[in-house]
């Protein structure tokens, strides 16, 4: 069944730039089945309208001030990635070996042969039963749609316009999942686009661990895929979720991703994210404290080298009293790479007794590297405790001297300190196999690429506290 896009393919406003026009043409090429149309057609139409009206990213738009979208011109003639199977010869060691429910998506489509069987509560949108359909209708688009219109991301709207399939993860009341859910997203296309949509609904007292892992199949792609992803999470009263997300695609890839979370009364969210830069990578996290006593801790690591870009934007909305949030991000930027970190804490007038902390530390390993860090506090309540800070520096000269005085070579000392700068955040990961895999991956990355290890001598005023 063709949806309403098919009737508007020729009426796309000319004021849109070529990428926006082509993005809507791609949406018009998609066809929904009768079952999908009943729950996705309205979402797609609303997404397309928001995408048309959204402010174009540019230097005059505050939350796009430091990131250019010129790299997306590459995809002005891109086509849809053809859903594929896991490529032959794909190195399985690139995936984590876990006691988990693993689901593999290739270019946006589930590869059933490479995936485990879906347990109760997990289903594709197209295979949703009556309960799942009700949950999708109640939550899909509503969590991401709660963002202040002035800060809504046009790529989230585009994801809605492109959604023809998705994954629902429903954890019923008081259910504790024994195994983590491990979602693997693999991109194989060249000059293609792919979209991924995930909805997580956790009822009262539920407990789960979710891992999302994005990577490219072919490291030699000259011009890789543009991937647009959106994950919406509803955490019910007294429910707990640990969410881990790895964005480790090839540097030729372009990725725009967003995670939107609603926390209800006394719920807990623990998050961890690791990302490598690419030619264009923008990741948004938006948290809403909707119930008293909600708590979140969010930690992240980003690495950028060569001429890569990595842009993290986080926003924590404290809407009600007695909630807490802690946020810590460490970044290493080398060569001519550029990183952006914008962390915002917004405390509403009624959100008394709030505790909110945010810290961003950055290590520059090259005189040509660039970091734009911008912590924001917007507070309208008078009985709160908040703190924020940002640091940009090179390796500490005293620490280098100490290691070398113990017989460690200068090169090895720099690698140890650079690795330790990000490795200290890994201790909070709840799954030991995930932590070991990530430690090994980081060691390999630091040993093979010296651009992430500072070879410049720190000056007397190398650090800057903002």
Name residue 334's beta-bridge partners: none
pLDDT of 55 = 81
Q: Is 448 a residue whose pLDDT tops 90?
A: no
Q: Is 413 a residue whose pLDDT tops 90?
A: no
Q: Is 462 a residue whose pLDDT tops 60?
A: no
Query: What is the rounded CA–CA span in Å between residue 459 and residue 452?
Result: 18
Query: What is the rounded CA–CA span in Å between residue 68 and residue 71?
Result: 7
The answer to whether 101 and 115 have CB atoms below 8 angstroms apart is no
Q: What is the mean pLDDT of residues 106-133?
A: 94
b/e for 271-309, b at 16 or more Cβ within 10 A?
Answer: bbbbbbbbbbbbbbbbbbbbbebbbbbbbbbbbbbeebb
Nearest to 235 by CA among 296, 326, 314: 296
Q: Is 458 a residue whose pLDDT tops 50?
A: no
Q: Is 10 a residue whose pLDDT tops 50?
A: no
Q: For 317-373, give the DSSP string.
A: EE-SSS-EEEEEEEEEE-TT-EEEEEEEEEE-TT-TTEEEEEEEEEEE-STT-EEEE
- Angle of CA points 119, 123, 125, to nearest 5°: 175
Half-sphere exposure of 368 toward its Cβ, with a 13 Å CA cutoff? 11
Q: Is 4 a residue whose pLDDT tops 60?
A: no
Element (H, E) at 441: helix 432-448
Q: Is 302 a residue whose pLDDT tops 50?
A: yes
b/e for 428-460, b at 16 or more Cβ within 10 A?
Answer: ebebeebbebbeeebeebbeeebbbbbeeebee
Nearest to 260 by CA among 284, 296, 295, 228: 284
The answer to whether 51 and 23 have CB atoms below 8 angstroms apart is yes
The answer to whether 139 and 250 have CB atoms below 8 angstroms apart is no
Q: Is 221 a residue whose pLDDT tops 90?
A: no
pLDDT of 451 = 67
The structure tokens listed for 435 are 């932590």
Q: Is 217 a residue whose pLDDT tops 90?
A: no
Element (H, E) at 414: helix 410-423
> Please, which residues have CB within 8 angstroms of residue 286's CB and are 6 or more apart in sequence?
144, 147, 258, 259, 260, 261, 314, 315, 317
Alpha-helical regions (H) of 85-234: 130-139, 154-162
Indicate the pLDDT class of residue 100, thresholds 50, 70 and 90. very high
Q: For 243-281, give the DSSP string.
A: EEEEE---TT-EEEEEEEEEE-TT-EEEEEEEEE-BSEE
Name residue 169's beta-bridge partners: 122, 200
* Cα-based torsion angle of the residue sequence 168, 173, 175, 177 in order, rounded to the nearest 10 degrees: 20
The structure tokens listed for 67 are 């990131």
Helices 432-448 and 410-423 sit at what angle, rounded to 10 degrees?
A: 150
* Cα-based torsion angle of the residue sequence 214, 215, 217, 223 in order, rounded to the nearest 10 degrees: 110
Element (H, E) at 398: helix 397-405
Indicate the pLDDT class of residue 454, thresholds 50, 70 and 90. low
pLDDT digits (tens, 9 = 90+) for 358-391: 999 999 988 899 999 999 999 999 999 999 999 9
pLDDT digits (tens, 9 = 90+) for 26-74: 999 998 877 777 789 999 999 999 999 888 888 888 899 999 999 999 9
Query: What is the rounded CA–CA span in Å between residue 240 and residue 266?
Result: 9
Query: What is the rounded CA–CA span in Å between residue 66 and residue 325?
Result: 26
Nearest to 261 by CA among 322, 341, 184, 316: 316
pLDDT digits (tens, 9 = 90+) for 161-215: 999 999 999 999 999 999 999 999 999 888 899 999 999 999 999 999 999 999 9
* Cα-based torsion angle of the residue sequence 19, 20, 21, 26 in order, rounded to the nearest 10 degrees: 90
pLDDT of 427 = 83
């Amino acid at each position: 069944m063709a949806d309403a896009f098919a009737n508007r393919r020729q009426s796309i406003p000319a004021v849109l730039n070529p990428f926006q026009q082509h993005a809507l043409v791609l949406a018009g090429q998609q066809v929904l089945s009768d079952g999908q149309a009943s729950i996705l057609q309205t979402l797609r139409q609303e997404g397309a309208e928001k995408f048309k009206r959204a402010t174009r990213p540019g230097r005059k738009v505050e939350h796009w001030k430091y990131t250019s979208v010129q790299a997306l011109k590459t995809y002005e003639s891109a086509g849809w990635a053809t859903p594929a199977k896991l490529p032959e010869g794909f190195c399985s060691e690139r995936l984590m070996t876990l006691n988990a429910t693993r689901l593999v998506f290739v270019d946006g489509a589930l590869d059933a042969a490479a995936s485990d069987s879906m347990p109760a509560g997990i289903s594709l949108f197209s295979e949703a039963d009556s309960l799942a359909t009700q949950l999708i209708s109640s939550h899909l688009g509503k969590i991401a749609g709660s963002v202040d219109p002035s800060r809504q991301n046009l790529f989230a709207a585009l994801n809605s316009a492109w959604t023809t399939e998705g994954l629902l993860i429903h954890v019923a009341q008081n259910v504790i999942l024994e195994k983590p859910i491990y979602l693997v997203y693999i991109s194989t296309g060249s000059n293609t686009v792919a979209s991924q949509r995930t909805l997580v609904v956790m009822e009262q007292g539920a407990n789960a661990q979710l891992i999302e892992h994005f990577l490219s199949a072919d490291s030699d792609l000259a011009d890789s895929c543009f991937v647009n992803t959106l994950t919406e999470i509803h955490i019910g009263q007294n429910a707990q979720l640990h969410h881990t997300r790895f964005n480790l695609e090839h540097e030729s890839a372009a990725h725009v991703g967003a995670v939107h979370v609603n926390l209800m009364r006394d719920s807990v969210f623990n998050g961890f994210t690791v990302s490598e830069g690419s030619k264009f990578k923008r990741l948004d996290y938006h948290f809403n404290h909707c119930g008293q006593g909600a708590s979140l801790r969010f930690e992240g690591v980003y690495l950028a080298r060569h001429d890569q870009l990595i842009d993290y934007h986080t926003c924590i909305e404290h809407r009600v009293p007695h909630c807490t949030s802690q946020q810590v991000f460490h970044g290493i930027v080398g060569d001519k790479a550029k990183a952006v970190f914008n962390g915002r804490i917004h405390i509403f007038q009624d959100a008394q007794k709030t505790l909110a902390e945010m810290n961003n530390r950055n290590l520059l390993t090259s005189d040509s590297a660039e970091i734009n860090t911008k912590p924001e506090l917007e507070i309208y309540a008078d009985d709160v405790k908040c703190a924020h800070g940002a640091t940009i520096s090179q390796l500490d000269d005293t620490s280098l001297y100490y290691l070398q005085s113990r017989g460690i070579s200068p090169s090895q000392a720099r690698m140890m300190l650079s690795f330790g700068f990000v490795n200290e955040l890994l201790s909070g990961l709840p799954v030991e196999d995930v932590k070991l895999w990530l430690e090994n991956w980081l060691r390999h990355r630091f040993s093979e690429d010296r651009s992430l290890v500072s070879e410049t001598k720190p000056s007397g005023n190398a650090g800057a506290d903002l």
